[in-house]
Amino acid sequence: MKRFLIPLGVFVVLVAFLAVGLTLNPRDVPSPLKDKPAPAFTLPQLAAAGTSFSPADMKGRVWLLNVWASWCVSCRQEHPLLVAFAKEGKLPVVGLNYKDQEADAKGWLAQFGDPYVLSAVDADGRVGIDYGVYGVPETYVIDKAGMIRMKHTGPITPESLQKQILPLVAELSK
């Protein structure tokens, strides 16, 4: 009997490791930018030609930076949620239009709705690199002092919004 216990034990440990490993999302790479100041940039705004935006403009407010593009399929998935969320007016959502064509981006917002207080245009993706963007859509929660408090990779789901983003925002807004 005892001689079967050891292989059984090894098997159980292996299964436990696989069970945990298979439920983890390999795309979810922890961002080294958490609790670091949001990288500075100055980019033109999508809607108003000649105006620019930089994160310093948002000092003193808790805000979301949402990286999106008209070519990004998963952005479409999270978009209705963002539009509904923006309507509530709880906090400003700034868009970072990542490696997109101006006409496409404007058409996309016209078609699906514009949840953003403004969208900054990162045409060559250089700012995206500073923010460690590797899979659009990505969303950053930035606090009053301009520090990145959270990074969400991939489309926001109602669950991640309720369980992760909103509690954090509530805490930061105190």
**For binding to other proteins (CB under 8 A), which residues are involved?**
26-27, 29-33, 99, 124-126, 129-135
User: In DSSP terms, which residues pair with 121 in a beta bridge?
Assistant: 97
Q: How many whole angstroms separate alpha carbon 148 and alpha carbon 131?
A: 10
Residue closer to other proteins by CB (options 86, 152) is 152
> 91 vs 149, which CB is nearer to other proteins?
149
Provide the strand spans (E) within 3-106: 43-44, 52-53, 63-68, 93-98
Closest separation in Å from C-beta 29 to other proteins: 5
In angstroms, what is the minimal distance from the CB of 123 to other proteins?
Answer: 12
C-alpha to C-alpha distance for 11 and 66, rounded to whole angstroms: 44
- Residue 36 or 59 having the CB closest to other proteins: 36
Task: Round to whole Å and give the CA distance between 13 and 70.
Answer: 45
The least distance separating other proteins from the CB of residue 57, rounded to whole angstroms, comes to 23
Angstrom distance (rounded) from CA 148 to CA 98:
19
The single-letter code of the amino acid at 128 is G
**Nearer of residues 15 and 29 to other proteins, judged by Cβ:** 29
What is the C-alpha separation between 57 and 159, in angstroms, rounded? 30
Q: Compare residues 115 and 137 and give the one whose CB is closer to other proteins.
A: 137
Taking the complex as a whole, how short is the minimal distance between the CB of residue 152 and other proteins, in angstroms? Answer: 15
CB of 106 to other proteins, least distance (A): 22
